[in-house]
A = this chain, B = another copy of it.
Amino acid sequence: MNHSKTLKVFSPFDQSLLKEIPMVGEKEVENALKLAYSLFLDRKKWIPPYKRIEILEKVQEIMKSKVEELTKTAAAEGGKPYMDSKVEVMRAINGVKIASEEIGRLTGEQIPMGLTQASVNRIAFTTREPIGVIASISAFNHPLNLIVHQTVTAFASGCPVIVKPASTTPLSCLAFLEILDEAGVPEGWVQSIITDNETAEKLVTDKRINYLSFIGSAKVGWYLKSKLAPGTRCALEHGGAAPVIVEPDAELEEMLPALVKGGFYHAGQVCVSVQKVFVHESIARQVAEKMAEMANKLVVGDPLDKKTEVGPLILPKEVDRVEEWVKEAKDKGAELLCGGKRISDTCYAPTVIWNAPQDIKVSKEEIFGPVVCIYPYQDRDQAIQQANALDYHFQAAVFTKNIDIAFDTVQKLNATAVMVNDHTAFRVDWMPFGGRDASGEGLGGIPYSMHEMTREKLMVVKSKWL
């Protein structure tokens, strides 16, 4: 590979060039891997827990002093509006804290012995050990926070990590790695690589990689998984088409702002964005029209403007794609209650679609754009069946005040998390988070990732006196 290659990072809003970064080739990636692997093999180089805690506390401190800077970098390269980007930065700081606290919870437990005659005279305990070298492939939609999720977890767990940021949003990653460096993370524990996909695949499928953390499209994720070396574990976080069930007794004043936020936050470019809202027919049209009214009022525009509520899509071609999908919906008889058009080359208007057929793209695929579909239903069980019908199952929601219906719907929806009277995109970084079935593998959420990045070792001591 030609080392003179560079990666150009553009503003997703106005397509201006933000920065040009040198890309690395196979040789540099091999060096990074060699270094990481040598750190893992040599226990004397391992960083003791108290030291990792000290460093991560320092990281938080530095981040707190750079909130404004980090916010602007993330907003500029990723297109998420300033106010939401700031929330992301605060969450990222909190994420470092969660990881630091979790270090003390990476503990084992006693395994009972003597429950059968064959197992007397023994005592047994487990401990948790770092799993090995980790490769992280990250996504663009939370350019700072996902990097925290995919590197700080590894470092906190005692694993060297090599991260490849999304090629559209590498700047937040690089800024964060500088902070890690400043905070005292020793060389080689957290390395980033800016490289092409082919080289990244070589890294990921190398035998010395013991764990792959991947956030991105299902297609790429499942492909990479099938190529991993024997023994490499992985966490895949893909998307979904998050469904919501709305019962006639839902409290609309609470629900509508939640659904609008859940559907149009970051222009819908979140893996758990509200996409398919099944509403009981008695109130469906009312809900749809009110949502359209609210969606229509959202301020779309420059992510660096503090008033902006919805920014651009990450790439112009995504606007094309969304446009095409919405057109298909219209052509197939769905009604557009608002939006349904591009605002510029990079921005698409928040769109509410009424009663799209179940077999077209907006109903079957993850939109990853500012589009919400409303479907009226007569029978709750049928609505749930439709909600479950895709291969993707991630987060879901139900709005009802009835306790029986709430529990029943939570039980029946195929999802890793079901919100009762809240939108599907609710997340805190310490909760379990991850797609089911085709939506992903392994569990995210910082403590859960750290659990997966470590593995149990059982010690059984035999002694005549036990």
A-side interface residues toward B, CB under 8 Å? 43, 48-50, 53, 87, 94, 101, 103-120, 122-127, 207, 210, 218, 222, 226-228, 230-231, 233, 391, 400-408, 410-412, 415-422, 426, 428, 430-432, 436-439, 441, 443, 455-466
Q: How far is the CB of A397 from the nearest CB of chain B, in Å?
A: 9
23 A-B interface contacts by CB (under 8 A) = A43-B412, A49-B114, A50-B116, A105-B112, A107-B111, A112-B430, A123-B127, A230-B391, A231-B436, A233-B441, A403-B463, A406-B461, A407-B465, A410-B457, A416-B458, A417-B458, A419-B460, A419-B461, A420-B461, A421-B462, A426-B460, A426-B462, A443-B456
A432 touching B420 in the complex, CB below 8 Å, given contacts A391-B231, A404-B463: no
Q: How far is the CB of A392 from the nearest CB of chain B, in Å?
A: 9
Is B418 a contact partner of A463 (Cβ separation < 8 A)?
Answer: no
Q: Hey, which chain B residues are within 8 Å of A419, CB to CB? A: 460-462
In the complex formed, the residue of B with least CB distance to A222 is: B230
Is B115 a contact partner of A459 (Cβ separation < 8 A)?
Answer: no
Is A431 a contact partner of B104 (Cβ separation < 8 A)?
Answer: no
Known contacts A110-B127, A231-B391, A432-B456; 8 additional CB pairs below 8 A are A107-B109, A119-B428, A226-B227, A230-B391, A403-B463, A411-B465, A422-B462, A432-B458
Q: Hey, which chain B residues are within 8 Å of A231, CB to CB? A: 391, 436-439, 441
Q: How far is the CB of A59 from the nearest CB of chain B, in Å?
A: 15
Q: Hey, which chain B residues are within 8 Å of A87, CB to CB? A: 118
The CA-CA distance from A116 to B87 in the complex, in Å, is 12
A48 touching B114 in the complex, CB below 8 Å, given contacts A218-B230, A222-B230, A460-B426: yes
Is A113 a contact partner of B421 (Cβ separation < 8 A)?
Answer: no
* Copies of this chain, whole number: 4
Q: How far is the CB of A409 from the nearest CB of chain B, in Å?
A: 9
Q: How far is the CB of A106 from the nearest CB of chain B, in Å?
A: 7
Q: How far is the CB of A64 from the nearest CB of chain B, in Å?
A: 11
Q: How far is the CB of A358 from the nearest CB of chain B, in Å?
A: 18
Q: Hey, which chain B residues are within 8 Å of A50, CB to CB? A: 114-117, 119-120
Q: Hey, which chain B residues are within 8 Å of A115, CB to CB? A: 49-50, 53, 103-104, 428, 430
Is A124 a contact partner of B441 (Cβ separation < 8 A)?
Answer: no
Q: How far is the CB of A460 from the nearest CB of chain B, in Å?
A: 5
Q: Is the interface of A mostly helix, strand, loop or mixed?
A: mixed
A461 touching B403 in the complex, CB below 8 Å, given contacts A49-B112, A112-B49, A230-B391: yes
The CA-CA distance from A129 to B466 in the complex, in Å, is 13
Q: How far is the CB of A15 from the nearest CB of chain B, in Å?
A: 33
In the complex formed, the residue of B with least CB distance to A122 is: B422
Q: Hey, which chain B residues are within 8 Å of A410, CB to CB? A: 457, 459
The CA-CA distance from A214 to B252 in the complex, in Å, is 50
Is B110 a contact partner of A459 (Cβ separation < 8 A)?
Answer: no
Is B227 a contact partner of A462 (Cβ separation < 8 A)?
Answer: no
Is A417 a contact partner of B457 (Cβ separation < 8 A)?
Answer: yes
Most buried by B among A230, A410, A462: A230
Q: Hey, which chain B residues are within 8 Å of A426, CB to CB? A: 460, 462
Q: Hey, which chain B residues are within 8 Å of A455, CB to CB? A: 416, 436
The CA-CA distance from A127 to B407 in the complex, in Å, is 12
Most buried by B among A106, A233, A403, A438: A403
Q: How far is the CB of A181 from the nearest CB of chain B, in Å?
A: 23
In the complex formed, the residue of B with least CB distance to A228 is: B226
Q: Hey, which chain B residues are within 8 Å of A458, CB to CB? A: 416-418, 431-432
The CA-CA distance from A39 to B230 in the complex, in Å, is 33
Q: Hey, which chain B residues are within 8 Å of A53, CB to CB? A: 115
Q: How far is the CB of A174 from the nearest CB of chain B, in Å?
A: 27
A418 contact from B118, B416, B459, Cβ within 8 A:
B459
Most buried by B among A53, A104, A426, A459: A459
Q: How far is the CB of A308 from the nearest CB of chain B, in Å?
A: 20
A125 contact from B110, B117, B404, Cβ within 8 A:
B110
A110 contact from B48, B109, B113, Cβ within 8 A:
B109
Q: How far is the CB of A395 from the nearest CB of chain B, in Å?
A: 9
Most buried by B among A122, A417, A418, A462: A462
The CA-CA distance from A415 to B126 in the complex, in Å, is 12
The CA-CA distance from A402 to B415 in the complex, in Å, is 24
